[in-house]
Amino acid sequence: MRDTLSVLPLTVTDLVFAAGGRPLVDGIGFTLPKGGLTVLIGPNGSGKSLTLRLCHGLLTPTSGVVSWAAADGVVGGVKRHAMVFQKPVMLRRSARANMLHALAAFGLSRSERATRCAEALERFGLAGLAERPARLMSGGEQQRLAIARAWALRPQVLFLDEPTSQLDPGATRQIEEMLMALRGEGMTLVMATHDMGQARRLADRVLFLNRGRLGEDAAAAPFFAGPASPEARAFIAGDLVW
């Protein structure tokens, strides 16, 4: 049962999100084709999280358009994009119940829920933790569960907002390996990070944000070899631009 209908490409045009009369996301535009890992990089407060939320439909743009190949990124009544947050949102239930809850919200049958849940717990190395209250798990385990929970929903696109920013290097590496495996299987990933090293390790493409604007949209290799804009150069050099 391969995906016959793709929600991609995603086309973002002149995206603006303003609060208190101040544009926080200011005229961003890009096209996201199928496959690969796109990194949204930029200093704190540059609008990475807002951009992801706008794309995922959690926020309504002040102006501009987020346009999927299938309306709202929904195919056959099923939303085909998912999101993992910086601070994993864990329900006050076991790891398994967290997973089953999301699957139930997607309207899946009981047997389908059980199958997908077992599959996801297994794949992300959580089978042994299935009955643990999710909020008692370590930060790394929680984020793994959040990714597994999103994966179980079979998204074509997975948005990740700094998924490793609160994790130690070991847990970070685990998550990065999982993301590379997902990319290898054809899932399209869009990840915000302000960690330059992580961007270098994972990115196929870089969207550099600065003060709510898209400073640069480039393939990863040329971007890291020498970004076109002075702001991006300063950012790479470690001089955060504010």
Partner 1 sequence: MDISQSFAAAIGLILGGDPAFLAIVGLSLTVTLSAVAIAALIGLPLGALLALARFPGRGAVIVLVNALMGLPPVVAGLLVFLLLSRSGPLGPLGLLFTPTAMVAAQTLLVLPIVIAITRQLTEDLHGEYREHLASIGLTGISAIPTLLWDGRFALATAILAGFGRASAEVGAVLIVGGNIAGYTRTMTTAIALETSKGDLPLALGLGIVLILLTLAINAVTYGASRVGARFAG
Binding residues (CB under 6 A) for ligand ADP: these are: 19, 24, 42, 44-50, 192
Work out what residue 2 binds among Mg ion, partner 1, ligand ADP, none; the CB cut-off runs from 5 to 8 Å by kind: none
- Residue 49 or 156: the one with the smaller Cβ distance to Mg ion is 49
Closest among 201, 233, 193, 231 to 214, alpha carbons compared: 231
- 3 state SS of 129: helix
- 3 state SS of 125: coil
Least Cβ distance, residue 211 to ligand ADP (angstroms): 9
Token look-up 């995603």 returns 10
Residues 6 or more apart whose Cβ sits within 8 Å of residue 187: 155, 156, 157, 158
Work out what residue 42 binds among partner 1, Mg ion, ligand ADP, none; the CB cut-off runs from 5 to 8 Å by kind: ligand ADP
Least Cβ distance, residue 189 to ligand ADP (angstroms): 17
Indicate which single residue of 35, 36, 133, 139 sits in contact with partner 1 (rule: CB under 8 A): 133
Angle at 83 between CA 93 and CA 43, to 5 degrees: 120
Closest among 150, 140, 43, 132 to 96, alpha carbons compared: 132
Site string for Mg ion, 36-65 (x = CB under 5 A): -------------x----------------
Give residues in contact with Mg ion (CB under 5 A). 49
